[in-house]
Structure 1
Amino acid sequence: MDLKPIIPFEPVRTDKVPAGPNWVSQIKWDGVRMLTYFDGTDTRLWNRRRNDRTQQYPEFLDVRAYCRARSVILDGEMIALDGRKPSFHEIMKRDRLRTESKIAQAVARVPVTYMIFDIVYCDGEWVNGKPLAERQSILERMIVPGDRVQIVPNVADGNALLGVMRSHSMEGIVCKDLTSAYAMDGKDGRWQKLKLFHDLYAVVGGVTFRDKIVNALLLGLYDDDGTFLYIGHAGTGKVTQAEWERLTRLAGQMRVKDRPFRNEFERSKDAVWIRPELVVKVQFLEWTPDGVLRHPSIQSFAEVDNPISVCTFRQS
């Protein structure tokens, strides 16, 4: 594999849909960002943190089946549906797998669609410096849509699209400037995301029990000084009974004597402290004035290489 993984272009958060003739909007998929690298011979899939996910999605390794390019880097989102809408919890059932036999079974059990929205490299040429409109034109010529591969469409009226997302309880939209180049390892206002629900990655520093089973997770984030601070507890969301039982076993193995959070809080008197290693994706309504999450809901467990650098208050 001659092509090396890049850090993809990221949108910044906004509170309103940008106006102007150069702006288009797209659905913000609640999935896993995934870049496909095909050098003409080998195929590799890497996520936004440049972790290899080639093994997890074998149905997308035959790039020639859905792309006409002789070599290519595609940017998009792997999604899995929970009923009729994308679910981060469902895609994690695929993304967390590591054994070949379980992955083979999951291909049929948890079908995945690759929603492609950009192209960075094509036929031996870097195209990231071209305007988005031109890159999308290249993408249209190269991609052969099918049941499991789609090109993400543009919508001119971002407010209308946001209304549709709200009516379907979906995550939000991404607004893009058609004149924008693709800034690798970049993040600026040429791409903007408007989220109907906030989410972040938090570290579990403690648990509480009901009837000897873990029933809530005590969550924390790191500040700029590396101090671990409590931000709230979550006992609802997409956690199965089997996962609560697994957490109960893990809590016994990870238990520590001292509170890992620097700050004190009311719920600490009922807590069992654990090593701050488990990371969860949490959806929430807003921050309270006291710096605590309002109505947090556990979406999934996540693999994070370095929680201290990822699970911070700087997430946006």
Structure 2
Amino acid sequence: MLPAYIKPMLAKLSAPFDSPRFLYEIKWDGTRCLFFIENGKIRLQNRRLNDITYRYPEFWDLPKLIKKDGLVFDGEIVVLKDGKPQFRLLQEREHVKSPLKIKMLSERLPATYMVFDLLYVGGEPLLDRPLRERKKLMQELLPSSPFVAESAFILEKGVAFFEKVVAMGFEGVMAKDIESPYVPGKRVDFWLKFKPRGRRRCVVVGYLLRPDGTLKSLLVAERKENELVFRGRVASGLNTHLAVELLGRLKKLESKRPENLKGSGFPKGTIWVCPELECEVSFQEITNHGQFRAPVLEKIFLS
């Protein structure tokens, strides 16, 4: 008997690298989905452990095409256009509850299940088996269907693969240790994700000092129409010479917190400034709290 739900394994962020111990596959911009097949019926579970079977009627007959029962696959649901996932089109599928509309959308915007792991076979767990074994079993069981595809991968050459994938317009790359087990609900070093760094032009809205009075970090925000959206603090990229020059300028701009600054998580000890000094910041991604993850000050516009 299969478990009622399984928390999906999660990945950590990483810079691209090469390794003979890792495989590399496209990071699909879709909905994470665990695909249960038990007693000839399917059940689709998303990352939040919700049952989303009703949304995707194109998958309902897949158990008839698979020889074994008691299966759990892991993968992502995507809507493809010209061979690439279109998250906007997937969202159209995800926010519909009417059975009639669901059926119409399944025909107009059919989904594809990109499979990348196999967790159970015949009701028995494979979680402790190495990924290379789970992948091999998965390949043997995948049905021939326009709605299912294996998430193809390459070995060793992660850096070149990442550059190619990003150039083609995909979201990034997943790197997975081929000897690793499946660890439900955990964010571990066995799975790593490579994502291209974004760049944004920002304004400095405040700064923090070290106990010795030197510049510790900048607080930055993005201009959005008539508002400033707080993106967090930036310390990386501030060398000693630049920090000294910046501090002199920042002291002359000291003011109250900008009235149009939106956001949360403003650090204690912030010295606010008029938002006049512009900079360019690179970052890994924007968090759920609206702040840059792993930001680096790339350029400061001092003129």
What's the TM-score, normalizing by structure 2? 0.66
Q: CA deviation at 1:142?
A: 0.9
Matched, 1:31 2:35: no
Q: Deviations over 1:155-186 (max 9, x none)?
A: 12222221221221211100111000000111
- May I ask how many residue pairs the two structures share in their alignment? 233
SS in 2 for 1:159: helix
Matched, 1:100 2:99: yes
Tell me if structure 2 keeps the 8 A contact 1:77–1:115: yes
Q: CA deviation at 1:292?
A: 11
Matched, 1:79 2:114: no
One-letter code aligned to 1:26 = E
Q: CA deviation at 1:67?
A: 2.9
Q: CA deviation at 1:124?
A: 1.4
For 1:54 and 1:218, locate their aligned partners in 2 and report how far apart those are by CA, in whole Å.
41
SS in 2 for 1:196: coil
More strand by proportion, 1 or 2? Answer: 2
CA RMSD of aligned residues (A): 3.6
Matched, 1:176 2:176: yes
Residue 152 to residue 83, structure 1, CA distance change in 2 (3 Å): closer
Q: Which moved more, 1:41-50 or 1:21-30?
A: 41-50
One-letter code aligned to 2:7 = I
For 2:139 and 2:73, locate their aligned partners in 1 and report how far apart those are by CA, in whole Å.
12
SS in 1 for 2:162: helix
The correspondence of residues 92-171 of structure 1 with structure 2, limited to 5 A, is 92-156=91-155, 157-171=157-171
Structure-2 residue corresponding to 1:5: 5
Structure-2 residue corresponding to 1:46: 45
For 1:54 and 1:217, locate their aligned partners in 2 and report how far apart those are by CA, in whole Å.
42
Residue 267 to residue 100, structure 1, CA distance change in 2 (3 Å): same
Tell me if structure 2 keeps the 8 A contact 1:3–1:39: no
Structure-1 residue corresponding to 2:216: none
SS in 1 for 2:182: coil
One-letter code aligned to 2:169 = S
Q: Deviations over 1:123-169 (max 9, x none)?
A: 11001110000001110111123321011112122222212212212
5+ residue gaps, structure 1, are: 199-214, 221-229, 233-262, 277-288, 299-308
Structure-2 residue corresponding to 1:236: none
Matched, 1:195 2:195: yes
SS in 1 for 2:163: helix
SS in 1 for 2:44: strand
5+ residue gaps, structure 2, are: 199-223, 233-255, 265-276, 295-303
Q: Deviations over 1:188-227 (max 9, x none)?
A: 11111001256xxxxxxxxxxxxxxxx969797xxxxxxx
One-letter code aligned to 1:31 = G
What's the TM-score, normalizing by structure 1? 0.64
For 1:78 and 1:219, locate their aligned partners in 2 and report how far apart those are by CA, in whole Å.
35
SS in 2 for 1:52: coil
Tell me if structure 1 keeps the 8 A contact 2:16–2:158: no
For 2:80 and 2:228, locate their aligned partners in 1 and report how far apart those are by CA, in whole Å.
27
